[in-house]
Structure 1
C-alpha cells in the first residue's frame, strides 16, 4: 500500500506502478520485511508511506524462520505489487490498482489494544487478534495477491463458550473495526416471538443486496455482516435450511460474512457448521488477570479523572482476587461498589 506523504511535493510527471515497484525493490534489496510493517520510501523528490500488506514466499524462497514469522526478504526476483488509495489512482501512480482495506480508515493492527480500550473493551486483545487474523486474514491482502495464493475467504464464524465470555461483545464490536456495512443483528430469543416470514425476508433482502453489490463493484464491494446472537435458539429446521441454501448459493460471493454466537455449540446442527458454511469455530474463555486489570481500569477511569477513587484502592490486587470471574461480573463489581459508596 503506497500513499504520498503530505509534506511531499506532487510528482511533476506520471509515475507508473511498475517503475515505483522496481525502485522499491532496488532500494531495499536484501532487506527483510514483516507483514504490516511501515516504511518511508523516497523517489524523485517525493516521499511515500508504504505498508507491507502481504508477503508471498515461493517454495524455495526464504528460511523456515522467515516463514514462521511472516517475513520476507526483498530479492531481485521479488514481485512488488503496488496498491494505492482510491483518491490517488490516476493522479499519483499510473497503472496501479486500488486496494480497499478490510479495516476502517485509521485502524492499525499494531495498536489493537489501544483501539479496543478506546471502545471500552478490556481483556480481549488476544481474542480479537486471533479472530481478525483467522476470519479476515485473506481479506487483508490485495485481491491480486489473494488470487495468486489461491486464498479462500472465510464466510462464517461461530463464537462459543460459557456465558459472559464476551461472545456478543466481540460480535457487535468487531464490526466497528471493519470497513463494512452496518451489521444486521438477529437476537435469537427475540426472534422466537416474531413472525418467521419477517426474518426470512430480512435475510433474503440482505443477500439480494450483496449480490447486486458484487455484480456492480466486484472485489471492491462493501462487506455485509449478519450477526445471529444465541443462534441455538433459532437454529430450527426452517432457519437452518434457509441459511444453508443462502450460504451454499454464494460460492462466488465474498462480500457476506456471518457471525453466530452460542453457549451450547452441541445444540447446533452439524450441517450448518460444516466446511463452506460457518466453518471457523472460536472458543472463548474468561479473561486472565491482565484482562481483569484492563476491565477494572476502563470501568474506574471516570472515577479517577474526577478524583473519586481513593488512593488506597489497589486494582492489581482486585484483579488477582477476581480469578475465575467473567468480564461482566468484574464491571458489575465496580458498579455495585460505586453504588455502595454513595449511599
Structure 2
C-alpha cells in the first residue's frame, strides 16, 4: 500500500474489517455474512491515519470515497443535519436500487471527536441514527479518525457503529527504516543518494519521529544537498549525503 511502519496495524484491519470484502458476493450471501460497517483509527498526528483510511478505500475499489472534516460540519449548525444526511444519501439510494450489487461507499470522518454529547448532542444523535441505518445496508464503510480517543463518545464505538478500533501510533525502528526507504525510493532509483547514507543508522537516530516528521526530514535533506551543491559550485552529480540528513 506504500505506507511504511504500519504492517501490524494493517494486518489487524484486514483481519477484522476488510477480509469479507475480498470474498465473492455469492459466498457472502450463502454464509449470511455482513461487512463490518465502522472502523476507528486513533493516534498522534502525522502517523498515517488519513493515508491509511484513503488507501483502504482505494484497495477496496470504493465507488465513492467521501472525506469530511467533522469540525467543519459542526461549525454551521443550520447546515449540520443536511450535511450528515448528504454523506449517507447516495449509498442509501444506490442500495435501494441495486441491493447487494451496489458498489462500496467509504465515508472518512476526520476529527470525529467533534461529535460528542458535551458540544454537539443533537449532531451526535443524528450521526448515530444514520450509522444505525447503515446496519441494514451492506455497501458502506465509515472510518473515523481522531488524535483524541478519550473524547470519543461511548455510543460511537458500540457494535454496529465504529466497532473496530485500531491505534496508529509512532513507528518503531524497523517501521522508521521502512518509511525512509519509501520516501527516498525515487532518489535511490535515480542514483541521487550517496553511498554513505545508512538508513538503519537514521532509523536509530529518529526515535519518536512520526511518519510526517520523517517525510519532512527527507525534504530537508534534499534542500541541504541542493544548497551545498550550489555553494560549492560543484561540477559533480548532485547527490544527497548522510550529512544532509543529520
- TM-score norm. by structure 1 comes to 0.60
Deviation at 1:192, TM superposition (A): 4.8
Deviation at 1:173, TM superposition (A): 2.1
What is the CA-CA distance between 1:196 and the residue it aligns to?
Answer: 3.2
- Structure 2 counterpart of 1:33: none
Indicate if the aligned counterparts of 2:95 and 2:137 stay in contact, CA closer than 8 A: yes
- Measure how far apart 1:314 and its partner are: 0.9
Out of 144-153 and 320-329, give the one that drifted further.
144-153
Structure 1 runs not aligned, ≥5 long: 1-115
- Cα separation, 1, equivalents of 2:181 and 2:66: 31
1:141 — aligned with what? Answer: 23
> d(CA) in 2 for partners of 1:243 and 1:250?
11
Q: How many residues align?
A: 224
Q: Are positions 1:186 and 2:68 aligned together?
A: yes
Please name the residue that 1:154 is paired with: 36
Q: Post-superposition shift, 1:234?
A: 4.1
Displacement after TM superposition at 1:318 (Å):
0.9
**Is the counterpart of residue 260 in structure 1 residue 144 in structure 2?**
yes
Question: 2:70, 2:148 → 1: CA distance?
Answer: 13
Higher fraction of helix: 2
Match runs of 1:160-171 below 5 Å: 160-171=42-53
Unaligned runs of 5+ in 2: 228-246
**1:275 offset after TM fit, Å?**
1.3
Q: How does 1:1-343 map to 2 (within 5 A)?
A: 116-117=1-2, 121-193=3-75, 195-235=76-116, 236-343=120-227
Higher percent of residues as strand: 1
Contact between 2:74 and 2:80, CA under 8 Å: does it hold in 1? no
Work out which structure has the larger RCO, using CA pairs closer than 8 Å and 6 or more positions apart in sequence.
Answer: 2
Greater C-alpha Rg: 1
Q: TM-score, normalised by structure 2?
A: 0.82
Q: Distance in 2 between matches of 1:295 and 1:278?
A: 28
CA contact (8 A) 1:191 1:234 kept: no
For residues 108-160 of structure 1, the C-alpha deviation after alignment (integer angstroms, 9 at most, x for no partner) is xxxxxxxx23xxx2222332232122112223223343344332321111111
How large is the Cα RMSD of the aligned pairs? Answer: 2.0
Matched residues in 2 for 1:233 and 1:301: separation?
37
Aligned partners of 1:156 and 1:280 also within 8 Å: yes
